[in-house]
Amino acid sequence: MTINVLMPRLGETVVEGTVSRWLVAEGESVQKLAPLLEISTDKIDTEIPSPADGVLLKIHVPAGATVAAGALIAVIGQPDEKLAESITPPADAPAGIDAGRPNSLPGAVSSGGNLGFISPVVAKLAAEHSVELGQIRGTGLKGRIRKQDVLSYLDRQAAAAGPVPHQLVQHQRGVAPTAGEFVPLTRLRRLVAEHMVQSVAASPHVTTVFDCDLAAVVRHRYANRDKFAGAGVDLTFTPYFVAAAVIGLRQHPVANASWSDGSSGPGILLHRGIHVGIAVALPDGLVVPVIRDADSYNLFGLARSVGDLARRARAGQLQPDEIQGGTFTLTNHGTSGSLFATPIINQPQTGILGVGRIHKQAVVISRGHPLLPDAEDTIAIRPVAYLSFTFDHRILDGATADAFVTTVKAALEHWQS
């Protein structure tokens, strides 16, 4: 029995996808859930697993082609199975698409033609780079101009300005470029750069820094990590910071908000759900997968979610919906040795909490006056980290932001369960 492989719908707002490359050739065997191909959309690049065991009998959509969600892209069967001469695409696949020819879709927009529907992502990207969309040939459904079309156009413009240095290949493999060399941005690096510039321009950034005694957290982690590992979960420090941030967001809801320029005037939109994004570093940028309803998880659930999202982010296996809808962001930059930082807000959120490297430090333990010298003062060696909270000063004032971090700090310093 043959199995049809369809272009998946990678998110509610994603209606099409581009086959970046096939990881299995026609005639080769495949295993269920093993990577079958890579797909690119306007929001994310990801691997698609095989839906069944067998042999990849036929590839209907070659690398580079764009088809709608639900379109037939391949057929899987058994080694001795005969492939039908004509396989009818599923009912929800669009008519009129020649899946066998890359970027050959009916109604493609030519220079000066009717642009049709333009997504906000494409419109924003074109405006930021002063691109006339009428100059771009769309490769989406009915000639719709996609984000990849704009980026490809920008790549061609950059290439026309001068030859790409041969050192670029070495640079992308981790070798430092030579002095005076021009290195074009990768797509991910360009998107990160654009988002950072837009964020700083959109809201006034202020950063407040607290030190935090993590002795209670360190003790708890070392006492429980083997138990978590036995259940297949790696207990890192990040889930503790997520849990503490959730406590802070519960007690200070305005930190779980965003700025709104509504029809009735500017205001603050308070979010009901607490959806915490976790910044994950990639070789040429970063991605922020989101733990939805983070306040509904205990420490075990947060640890499992953090580990799963980070692993799939680095493997390029996230779904578009998994990097959207965050209401707050945490970046554990201390994993790379940084003591403290001034992170940039992930728009349109109110703030982002940065956690520095956990390190041993001499701490004064005072049982008397908090500032005056006292005979009861002692010096202890404690694991300490700096918490950097960058916030939108339109929404939070310094006192409210400090109150939020104070709550987070207290949750960590008095961790019990």
Tokens for 376?
A: 């009861």
Enumerate the β-bridge partners of residue 30: 54
- Write down which residue in 60, 77, 94 finishes a domain: 77
Backbone angles phi, psi at 158, to 5 degrees: -65, -40
Residue 102: what pLDDT?
36
Q: How far apart are CA 133 and CA 106, in angstroms?
A: 18
Residue 318: what pLDDT?
83
Residue 283: what pLDDT?
81
Residue 86: what pLDDT?
41
CATH number, domain of 64, equals: 2.40.50.100
Q: Is residue 299 part of a domain?
A: yes
Residue 278: what pLDDT?
96
Judgement on whether residues 323 and 243 belong to the same structural domain of the protein: yes
CATH number, domain of 390, equals: 3.30.559.10
Residue 65: what pLDDT?
86
Q: Are 11 and 321 in contact (CB under 8 A)?
A: yes
Judgement on whether residues 167 and 286 belong to the same structural domain of the protein: no
- Write down which residue in 17, 44, 77 finishes a domain: 77
Residue 108: what pLDDT?
30
Residues acting as catalytic residues: 393, 397
Judgement on whether residues 180 and 238 belong to the same structural domain of the protein: no
Per the structure, the complete domain to which residue 363 belongs is given by 205-413
Apex 191 CA angle, 102 and 340, nearest 5: 150
Q: Is residue 253 part of a domain?
A: yes
Judgement on whether residues 130 and 264 belong to the same structural domain of the protein: no
Structural domains in the chain (count): 3
Judgement on whether residues 246 and 299 belong to the same structural domain of the protein: yes
Backbone angles phi, psi at 244, to 5 degrees: -70, -40
Q: Is residue 112 part of a domain?
A: no
Residue 64: how many other CB atoms lie within 10 Å: 15
For residue 310, the surrounding DSSP H or E stretch is helix 299-314
CATH number, domain of 162, equals: 4.10.320.10
The predicted model scores a pTM of 0.64
The conformation of residue 129, written as its DSSP 8-state character, comes to T
Angle formed by the axes of helices 120-128 and 147-161, nearest 10°: 20
Q: Is residue 373 part of a domain?
A: yes
Instruction: Look at residues 319, 318, 316, 321 and name the one whose alpha carbon lies nearest to residue 292.
Output: 321
Q: Is residue 217 part of a domain?
A: yes
Q: How far apart are CA 18 and CA 64, in angstroms?
A: 6
Judgement on whether residues 51 and 149 belong to the same structural domain of the protein: no
One pLDDT digit (tens) per residue for the chain, 417 residues: 788 998 887 665 567 788 888 999 998 999 888 889 988 776 667 778 888 889 999 999 998 888 888 889 999 998 877 766 444 444 443 333 333 333 333 223 333 345 666 665 677 677 767 777 877 888 776 677 877 778 777 767 665 654 444 444 444 445 566 667 888 877 678 878 888 898 999 999 999 999 999 999 999 999 999 999 999 999 999 999 999 999 999 999 999 999 988 778 889 999 999 999 999 988 878 889 999 999 999 999 999 999 999 999 888 888 878 888 999 999 999 999 999 999 999 999 999 999 999 999 999 888 888 888 888 889 999 999 999 999 999 999 999 999 999 999 999 999 986
Helix, strand, coil in percent for the chain, rounding step 5: 30, 25, 45
Instruction: Look at residues 351, 365, 333, 355 and name the one whose alpha carbon lies nearest to residue 409.
Output: 355
Backbone angles phi, psi at 196, to 5 degrees: -65, -45
Judgement on whether residues 130 and 236 belong to the same structural domain of the protein: no
Judgement on whether residues 269 and 375 belong to the same structural domain of the protein: yes
Residue 28: how many other CB atoms lie within 10 Å: 10
Judgement on whether residues 25 and 147 belong to the same structural domain of the protein: no
